Amino acid sequence: MKLTLTLTILLAVVIGGCNCKIVQFIFGDSLSDVGNNNFLSKSLARANLPWYGIDYGNGLPNGRFCNGRTVADIIGDEMGLPRPPAYLDQSLTEDVILSNGVNFASGGGGILNETGGLFIQRLSLYKQIELFQGIQDLIREKIGSKDANKFFQQARYVVALGSNDFINNYLMPVYRDSWTYNDKSFIQYLVDTQRSQLTLLHSLGARELMVFGLGPMGCIPLQRVLSTDGQCQDKTNQLALAYNKATNELVVELSNTLANASYKFGDAYDVVNDVITNPGNYGFSNSDSPCCSFGKIRPALTCNPASTLCSDRSKYVFWDEYHPSDSANQLIAKELIKKLGFLKPNQTDASPPTPALGPSSDDDAQ
């Protein structure tokens, strides 16, 4: 009797196909990296030392360039989606991919292949898409083309790059792009490249996709400390605004022209700018310097064991010279969720949302 029941169940699985979960595939830079660069032995952009990760899980470095969660982590939690592991994580298998998706994000990566060259090793967006194509081959071999197509088409996609294309490319004279283009032509170069990339992702099954816009990157601590007066660099912020406008128009165009595409543009520029300008209104006490630093010795390009931490990490907008803190990421994620009306898979507007998982409180690790 038991043998008959087992055979019946197995036969039902074969006939019914793959009852696949809805997962995320994330493409991005250090704002979304969850450990890929830790496996790039020559990369100069790695979050593999304390105090990165101090407010996440066991408090040890995990590859996130933050003290806690990324924006993508928090949005995924709100949507009830599993957090996808890093592509280069050695525990990644076909079963893990089917259950959790994959995060391809890489610190220092950009829309353009040439971006971030000074970091030596990083994964550009085109390289991340190439790796995604390899993942697709593995899944097709495991569950068949029909079920694989369904799996990839019902997945959620995040594309979150662009800041490095300015800060670690166009705005640095050592890069050829800085003297080959002007502001307008460089943004057009980015948009044209991204059009090809997003269209390619659509051909690979991406139907529900969100493109993250840029924040006021002229106000990150690194840009301030490199300015003459310690204030935000207006030119850099104007580039971010121009990029956001052009990319929003691109996303609307693609969503209207690509078959069954639901592409959205996530713009949190205004709220982040207001947080930086009026931090006290949002519960922050500092919005111009990093929580993890060498004190007056700046810029400290990375957080490390010799760094000094601020007394209350929840009160700082920025974790290091480049990246927002967990508290700031929570605020950014909430703004994007509010603007774009994200719902869980199979959730209706009437269904109550589930709060995002917070970071662990691990102050003892200091």
CA pair distance 232, 276, nearest whole angstrom: 10
pLDDT score at 295: 77
CA pair distance 149, 143, nearest whole angstrom: 10
Classify residue 276: in a domain, yes or no.
yes
pLDDT score at 346: 67
pLDDT score at 354: 42
CA pair distance 300, 294, nearest whole angstrom: 6
Classify residue 126: in a domain, yes or no.
yes
pLDDT score at 350: 46
Q: How many domains does the chain have?
A: 1
Classify residue 83: in a domain, yes or no.
yes
Angle at 192 between CA 157 and CA 135, to 5 degrees: 35
pLDDT score at 117: 96
Q: If we measure between CA atoms, which residue out of 103, 237, 254, 132 comes closest to residue 192?
A: 254
Note if 323 is an active site residue.
Answer: yes
- The 8 Å CB, 24+ separation contacts for 276-285 are 276/216, 276/219, 276/232, 276/317, 279/317, 282/331, 283/314, 283/315, 283/327, 284/315, 284/316, 284/317, 284/327, 284/328, 285/312, 285/315, 285/316
Look-up of token digits 């949302």: 353
Residue range 169-228, pLDDT digits in tens: 999 999 999 999 999 999 999 999 999 999 999 999 999 999 999 999 999 999 999 898
CA pair distance 282, 286, nearest whole angstrom: 11
Catalytic residue, chosen from 73, 77, 165, 320, is: 320
Note if 30 is an active site residue.
Answer: yes
CA pair distance 161, 99, nearest whole angstrom: 25
Catalytic residue, chosen from 30, 163, 287, 325, is: 30
Q: What CATH number is associated with residue 150? A: 3.40.50.1110
Catalytic residue, chosen from 267, 323, 326, 327, is: 323
Range of the structural domain that residue 166 is part of = 24-340
Residue range 247-306, pLDDT digits in tens: 999 999 999 999 999 999 999 999 999 999 999 999 999 999 999 998 777 887 789 999
Rounded to the nearest integer, the mean pLDDT of the chain is 90
pTM: 0.90
The average pLDDT across 34-61 equals 97
Above pLDDT 70, what percent of the chain? Answer: 89
Q: Which two tokens stand for residue 361?
A: 């409180």
Note if 327 is an active site residue.
Answer: no
Classify residue 200: in a domain, yes or no.
yes
CA pair distance 237, 239, nearest whole angstrom: 5
Q: Which two tokens stand for residue 41?
A: 């032995």
Classify residue 361: in a domain, yes or no.
no
What is the band of 14 on the pLDDT scale with cuts at 50, 70, 90? very low
Classify residue 63: in a domain, yes or no.
yes
pLDDT at 3 over 50: no
Question: What kind and span of H or E run contains 317?
Answer: strand 316-318
Classify residue 16: in a domain, yes or no.
no
DSSP H helical segments within the chain, as ranges? 2-16, 71-78, 94-100, 125-143, 145-154, 163-165, 177-180, 183-203, 221-226, 234-257, 269-277, 326-340
Classify residue 356: in a domain, yes or no.
no
